[in-house]
Amino acid sequence: MRDVAVIGVGLTQFGELWEKSFRELIAEAGAKAILDSGISGKEVDAMYVGSMSSGRFIGQEHIGALVADASGFSFAHVPSTRVEGACASGGLAVRQGYLAVASGMHDVVVVGGIEKMNDVGGTSATETLATAADQEWEAFFGATFPGIYAMIATRHMHDYGTTREQMAQVAVKNHMNGVLNPYAQYRKEISLDAVLNATMVAYPLGLLDCSPVSDGAASIVLCAAEKAKKYTNKAVKIIAAGQASDTLALHARENICTLQATVHAAKMAYKQANLTPKDIDLAEVHDCFTIAEICAIEDLGFVKKGEGGKAIDNRITTRDGSLPVNTSGGLKAKGHPVGATGVAQVIEIALQLRGDAEKRQVPDARIGLAHNVGGSGATCTVHILEAM
């Protein structure tokens, strides 16, 4: 296996992007990443693109070829593959690109992630997202993703004493970070009271405990680390790429507050990188709902199970804390165009390790982790990156 570097990154604005098409979004993110990397288009050996449900959101499948076409690579007949794993589609695409370069099969790979969710109404978006849940045991009975994570939240409150205030603080923190991210969907601070008094979506999760419905795309260029210097002096290395699966339905799990796919993907990644959770300087974790960030910091081993709420009280995860989490604003404030999210998380870590995160820069960041979850945890990827 060869070492793999991220040599270029590109993001579109995240938000309600009525004026931009799916093709325009992915072409914009890809072009920015290629420009940032210093490669020329003809050096691209392969493309991988994560998209959860383009068929339902915009009525278009066959996304691998479409993305190559929209980005001007169809004439070069570059192999382009769509990867799907619900909200972890982007993380899976990063891992596929990583494996293609690490194996020696390809030298330069472009990875993209995209979703355009607002072209359908809210009800249809909710139903589409629910296709990532277990259709027979959950969605058929009316469970939506806010409903599923609400069950996790009430159980966490019951078992570990986690409070609504602790969950709400996750949203307050991530909105504070989002203010500093020019690509974020929501660039406004919110108060604890606003989160606690927001319209209830599924108890105990109110509107401001939820990530929004978003449009957006993200792209990175990967290449063999030994060749990175030829293109750029801003490369960062991917030193681990973990992935794991779990049951689709919550009821089949021993403990619904532990996402075993996160635990196992993290174990795989820490082993590959020869690191422990203590070595991580900052993390982007999958905060699709505020409770999800609390579970994630526990399952990734940053704090003990049940102590995620206390870690929020102790401000461990704020930008000036000992382990800054979701400096990008997270899914909560940056937005969650589901297929793009896993790629965008890697971009935030790469920017931080390059020293390019501007006003949200974490000083002396050397090692960062990106954690992407599909559904309620049936798929998970964990990537660890290191400054070069």
Distance CA 255, CA 188 (A): 35
> Which of 72, 104, 122, 161 contacts ligand COA by CB under 6 A?
122
Q: Of the two residues 146 and 339, which places its CB atom closer to ligand COA in the complex?
A: 146
Q: Does 52 engage in binding with ligand COA (CB under 6 A)? A: no
Per-residue contact string for residues 170-199; x = within reach of ligand COA by CB under 6 A = ----------------x-------------
Q: Does 288 engage in binding with ligand COA (CB under 6 A)? A: yes
Q: Does 14 engage in binding with ligand COA (CB under 6 A)? A: no
Distance CA 225, CA 66 (A): 29
Residue type, 258: T
Length of the chain, please?
Answer: 388
> To the nearest whole angstrom, how small is the minimum distance from the Cβ of residue 129 to ligand COA?
5
Q: Does 145 engage in binding with ligand COA (CB under 6 A)? A: yes
Per-residue contact string for residues 316-345; x = within reach of ligand COA by CB under 6 A = --------------------x---------
Per-residue contact string for residues 62-91; x = within reach of ligand COA by CB under 6 A = -------------------------x----
Q: Is 286 a catalytic residue?
A: no
Distance CA 329, CA 186 (A): 9
Cis peptide bond prior to 182, omega within 30° of 0: no
> To the nearest whole angstrom, how small is the minimum distance from the Cβ of residue 247 to ligand COA?
16
Q: Which of 87, 210, 223, 288 is catalytic?
A: 87
Q: Does 162 engage in binding with ligand COA (CB under 6 A)? A: no
Among the residue ranges 43-51, 209-217, 230-238, 254-262, the one whose residues contact ligand COA (CB under 6 A): 209-217
Q: Does 248 engage in binding with ligand COA (CB under 6 A)? A: no
> To the nearest whole angstrom, how small is the minimum distance from the Cβ of residue 149 to ligand COA?
7
Q: Which of 264, 336, 371, 383 is catalytic?
A: 336
Distance CA 137, CA 105 (A): 41
Among the residue ranges 39-47, 76-84, 211-219, 349-357, the one whose residues contact ligand COA (CB under 6 A): 211-219
| Alpha-helical regions (H) of the chain | 22-37, 54-58, 63-70, 89-102, 122-129, 145-160, 164-179, 192-196, 260-273, 290-299, 308-313, 330-334, 338-354
Distance CA 46, CA 101 (A): 10
Question: What are the tokens at 223?
Answer: 């290449």
Place of tokens 């699709």: 288
Q: Is 295 a catalytic residue?
A: no
Q: Does 371 engage in binding with ligand COA (CB under 6 A)? A: no
Distance CA 198, CA 204 (A): 11
Strand order in the sheet with 367-374: 80-83, 46-50, 108-116, 215-224, 4-11, 236-245, 379-387, 367-374, 282-284
Please give the residue ranges that form the binding site for ligand COA (CB under 6 A): 87, 122, 126, 129, 145-146, 186, 201, 207-208, 210-213, 288, 336
Catalytic residues: 87, 336
